[in-house]
Structure 1
């Protein structure tokens, strides 16, 4: 359970062929119908407020989106801030016959291999888009020089690299710090900080944890990383489709699936200060604290960043490996 006070001694909508347009259509529909419902609810009951935008041409859909943006501005609604589906990030699985992954047929094994290759391709394309928008922390395409440009293809193919010299190293550091900050906020029952660092649907999970553990005190200790945080899947697309560029940043919306492999412990105390956790074997008591047993945890979190807002990377969702499958990365 990731409910903790951090003590560091060293963690649906159906997608269309056009992901950006699909998200924008959702945001636009949400904005327009929210406004329409507020003004018409007193007069009549709305039986069906859904509009099938798929039946319209793309040009007509974009006109609808622009109209929704105007309506939203008049009503004080930012349609680009509405919740959107998680992009198609995925956990790749090992497909080698000697791996621990179990497949019912050769066809299923081949299908998973193809999905792994598709994930690589989409991650490379997303990295390319991030660099072109100068949205990769620590990387500036305008000042990288000739040698940097020549190395670009290599760096674009290494989004899962954990080397300190890789282009994703600064981003991995940011995501690890965000992960730790969420644990700190959970320990303090700091809902304001949790709302800043997480979003739906994961925010609902944090609310449940805070409510469930409000009677106890938790001390979560990160003893270190068993292996460095790793980005195993990344997607970027244009999430802001307004007729004018956003006043801040750029149009990109980014999702990154990150693997955290850490060693941590969780101390739990009741209102009287009694320890409710399993103590660390051989550890001596430190004042009123009883060191908890250390555990190794491997977790997968989806982070989201809307580059058109001055907001931090937020945890959007937690993913779990499929039963009987061995993660590849």
Structure 2
């Protein structure tokens, strides 16, 4: 008996390896699978020897065509969003932008849509929890310690870039050996007027009040200047839900002056009154990666999570001055967590980009 042999086409991945520096066995496997599916079984009779050889030749040709077609499809198909090849192409595109940014001086290639950095709301870890729920207590401690480490590293990054708003921070590496430097880097919640974040807290409170008044007055220009695009869409949606003929009035009744914001807090003497605005989490990242530094500012994008604790009053009136739903107009205590963003190479103020719910 004459056995007809079947030759299975092989797909070379050497050229693909040179192009992408990645091994892609899926292509060769798909070609092998298609070739095996199209190849006929060998004939066992003498009469079918000739036809078996012919079918072998035909199947080999079909398998080669199928493999070539599958390889072309694999080349044309875009890489998966989460694949290593996609990440490498994205990094390559960013590096090309960095090398060619000087060709387009009027275009901000780094002004793309950014995601909110991994800011975190601190968890409650009172001593009472140690006895009532020790597991939750230690989880909260670990969460807060991780947030503290990220805060400290971000503060160091901002200090190294001298990017603190309203502070002339002449930071040098030798300053890391000074205890007063670590008191600044490791305490973002400080209410002291000498803190590196003190001017930012004052700006955050002023912008918070301005946004509230702009929502009540339907001032879309102010909202656009003090909020990013995504948050401005949310705020404008609330403003446009106002019924025709209604007048909104919003006020903050608690003290938000410098005397309240900047209180020296000691271990045994808590602040006399609520400080109004407290930074609880801060993150920074170098987004502007061009070879040449920006013409103004720095390369960083900073996100700060600010806790606002105030007493507010919100009233709704008709055009004739008659109150609407007087019961809801009573003063109430409000706690909000807002994310503020500062793009280092833009000459603008801190903008609200998101709201976090505890």
Structure 2-normalised TM-score?
0.64
* Aligned-residue offset at 1:268: 0.8
**Aligned match of 1:249 in 286, 297, 307?**
297
- Specify whether residues 147 and 63 from structure 1 end up closer, same or farther in structure 2 by C-alpha distance, changes over 3 A only: closer
Task: Indicate conservation of the 8 Å contact 2:159/2:171, yes or no.
Answer: no
CA contact (8 A) 1:72 1:79 kept: no
1:239 is aligned to 287
> Could you tell me how far 1:165 is from its partner in structure 2?
2.8
1:299-321 CA deviation, whole Å, 9 max, x = no partner? 11010110111111011111111
Q: 1:171 to 1:75 in 2, by over 3 A?
A: closer
Counterparts of 1:90-109 in structure 2, within 5 Å, are 90-96=120-126, 98-99=128-129, 106=135, 109=137
> Unmatched 5+ residue regions in structure 2?
1-76, 256-272
Looking at structure 2, the residues matched to 214 and 197 of structure 1 have their Cα atoms a distance apart, in angstroms, of 24
Contact 1:200 1:317 in 2 (8 A): no
Q: Give how far 1:189 is off.
A: 1.3
Please say if 1:219 is aligned against 2:267.
no
C-alpha distance in 2, partners of 1:308/1:302? 19
Stretch moving more, 127-136 or 250-259: 127-136
Runs of 5+ consecutive residues of structure 1 not aligned to the other structure: 1-47, 281-291, 322-329
Task: Say whether 1:137 aligns with 2:148.
Answer: no
Alpha carbons of 1:146 and 1:224: their partners in 2 closer, same or farther (altered >3 Å)?
same
Calculate the TM-score normalised by the size of structure 1.
0.69
What is the aligned counterpart of 2:115 among 82, 85, 92?
85
1:159 alignment counterpart: 188
The 1-side partners of 2:179 and 2:106 are apart by 46
Farther-moved stretch of structure 1 (213-222 vs 69-78): 69-78
Distance 1:168 1:71 in 2: 32
Aligned mates of 1:147, 1:235 — CA distance in 2: 19
CA distance in 1, matches of 2:91, 2:203: 35
Provide the residue aligned with 2:237 in structure 1.
Answer: 208
Larger relative helix fraction: 2
Cα distance, 1:154–1:209 mapped onto 2, change above 3 Å:
same
Q: Which one has more relative contact order, counting CA pairs under 8 Å at least 6 apart? A: 1
Aligned to 1:20: none
Structure 1 residue 96 displacement after superposition: 3.8
* Mapped contact 1:251–1:307 kept (Cα < 8 A): yes
Task: Report the structure number with the largest CA radius of gyration.
Answer: 2
CA RMSD of aligned residues (A): 3.5
